[in-house]
Structure 1
Amino acid sequence: MDVTVSGIGVEAVEYFQESGTVRTQFDQKKTPASIAIIATLADIMDTDPVELDPLHSTVDSDELEALVRVRNGTNGDTHVTFTHEGHAITVHSYGAITITPEHELTAENYERGAGR
């Protein structure tokens, strides 16, 4: 099923209300990871993608694309995690992006005893 986030076509979007996490599945042959990240983040933040800080201010977009490029028939997963616009973002080589607000991660760590 194709879905649109901030005008960009992706394969699927899942929202996890308890944690504030959003998971987007995208077709790496059609959409670069950096575009899928910004589109999903803009959708989460309910803003225009051009209003966000440029992704290259946080991570090298070319290196990101090279790292998560479509893996033709290989096993395993390569992923990268970074923060941008107050959100923890993980991009997987199989075409998935997970975005979680940083404050949710802090609250979750505190509840597990890390903040005590």
Structure 2
Amino acid sequence: MDTTVSGVGVEAVEYVQESGAVRTQFDQEKTPASMAVIATLADVMDTDPVELDPLYSTLDPDELDALVRVRNGTNGDSHVEFTHEGHAITVHSYGVISVTPEPEPTAEKYERGAGR
């Protein structure tokens, strides 16, 4: 492992300043996807992982781990997309997690839909 994110070892971390997105690559042999998601999200939110809502309030962590378990190259990529703690999260079966803050709703959006 090259670095840690919220105490979890990861192979690479990439920050995209314009969008606020963070991509981490983790070793699926050593770290379950669910643990890597929480570590990455905690890093993005600059908080302790235990302060986050439990992942199971959004989805079943065991199911997430099973869906994106290490696959050989002939199976292609499978991925899971979901929202947790106000962030769009994508977990790929090749060990990459992308976390992007969801945009804040604006007053203009509410005003357009007010007459409906």
Normalization by structure 1: what TM-score? 0.86
**Pairing 1:64–2:48 present:** no
Deviation at 1:32, TM superposition (A): 0.3
Cα deviation per residue 1:16-51 (whole Å; 9 max; x = unaligned)?
000111000000000000000000110111100000
CA distance in 2, matches of 1:63, 1:74: 22
Deviation at 1:76, TM superposition (A): 1.4
CA distance in 2, matches of 1:35, 1:23: 15
CA distance in 1, matches of 2:84, 2:73: 31
What is the letter of the counterpart of residue 8 of structure 1?
V
> Aligned residues, how many?
107
SS at match of 1:66: helix
Bigger drift between 95-104 and 45-54 goes to 95-104
- Higher-Rg member (1/2): 2
CA distance in 1, matches of 2:56, 2:3: 25
Normalization by structure 2: what TM-score? 0.86
SS at match of 1:70: coil
Match of 1:77 in 2: 77
Residue segments in structure 1 that go unaligned for 5+ positions in a row? 111-116
